[in-house]
């Protein structure tokens, strides 16, 4: 992926990319917890051992492992982010579930080796995530303003928060370039 000319500093660009990868790991962890919550809600007595949970959420565990490993390969210096991703990328899937349940504790609680509903547990299907929506729906969720097209001119790192695109548009606005760019875009169509 090519760095846009607006981002001159190498360290800043690496931070943006690391942030995007960390965001993907966080989203994968949340999707795993959502899947685990749904499995527990349908399990007898609303509980599940770690050993039983591993095969039930194997696909989500794999996605989390890949996302966390992608962040770790960047060798970013943020200690807390590295600790989180190391816990998510460990080879032992039960250890990953244990770590996430201990970190969360609100939706899924861990008692010994048994996963149980926490205080914020939802009974019923989890709401759709952005991952469940197609690309067109995801853009609609964020907003279909003309600025989305301007911010889309940059090849941002995959998974980067939409807030970074909004900050870019704010920068254009503060520099007095946003309206000129809109006019140029309107003339190009």
State pLDDT tens for residues 90-132: 999 999 999 999 998 888 989 999 998 887 887 655 444 444 5
- What is the overall mean pLDDT for the chain? 80
CA distance 128 to 102: 24
Q: Find out whether 23 and 161 touch, Cβ atoms under 8 Å.
A: yes
CA distance 51 to 57: 11
Q: Is the pTM of this model over 0.75?
A: no
| pLDDT tens per residue across span 169-186 | 777 777 877 667 656 655
CA distance 66 to 155: 22
CA distance 41 to 125: 9
> 63: pLDDT confidence band, cut at 50, 70 and 90?
very high
How far from the centroid of its chain's Cα atoms is residue 136's Cα? Answer: 18
> 74: pLDDT confidence band, cut at 50, 70 and 90?
very high
Q: Find out whether 34 and 40 touch, Cβ atoms under 8 Å.
A: no
Q: Find out whether 130 and 141 touch, Cβ atoms under 8 Å.
A: yes
- Residue 139: φ, ψ to 5°: -65, -40
Handedness of CA 84, 88, 90, 95 (dihedral sign): positive
Sheet with 108-111, edge to edge strand ranges: 48-49, 114-117, 108-111
User: According to the model, what pLDDT value does residue 97 have?
Assistant: 97
Is the pLDDT score of 133 beyond 60?
A: no
CA distance 151 to 155: 9
User: According to the model, what pLDDT value does residue 146 have?
Assistant: 47
Domain regions of the chain by residue span? 10-123, 133-188
CA distance 25 to 32: 10
- Nearest partner of 6 among 181, 188, 184, 185, judged by Cα: 181
User: According to the model, what pLDDT value does residue 127 have?
Assistant: 45
CA distance 159 to 9: 20
């Amino acid at each position: 992926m090519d760095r846009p000319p607006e981002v001159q500093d190498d360290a800043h660009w690496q931070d943006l990319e690391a942030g995007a990868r960390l965001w993907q790991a966080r989203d994968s962890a949340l999707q795993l917890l959502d899947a685990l919550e749904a499995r527990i809600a349908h399990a007898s007595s609303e509980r599940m051992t770690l050993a039983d949970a591993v095969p039930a959420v194997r696909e989500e565990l794999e996605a989390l492992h890949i996302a966390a490993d992608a962040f770790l390969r960047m060798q970013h210096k943020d200690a807390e982010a590295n600790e989180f991703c190391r816990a998510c990328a460990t080879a032992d899937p039960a250890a990953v579930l244990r770590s996430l349940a201990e970190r969360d504790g609100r939706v899924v609680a861990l008692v010994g080796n048994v996963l149980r509903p926490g205080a914020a547990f939802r009974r019923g299907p989890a709401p759709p995530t952005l991952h469940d929506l197609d690309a067109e729906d995801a853009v609609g969720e964020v907003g279909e303003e003309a600025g989305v097209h301007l911010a889309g001119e940059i090849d941002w790192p995959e998974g980067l928060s939409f807030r970074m695109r909004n900050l870019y548009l704010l920068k254009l606005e503060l520099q007095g370039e946003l309206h000129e760019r809109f006019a140029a875009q309107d003339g190009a169509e």
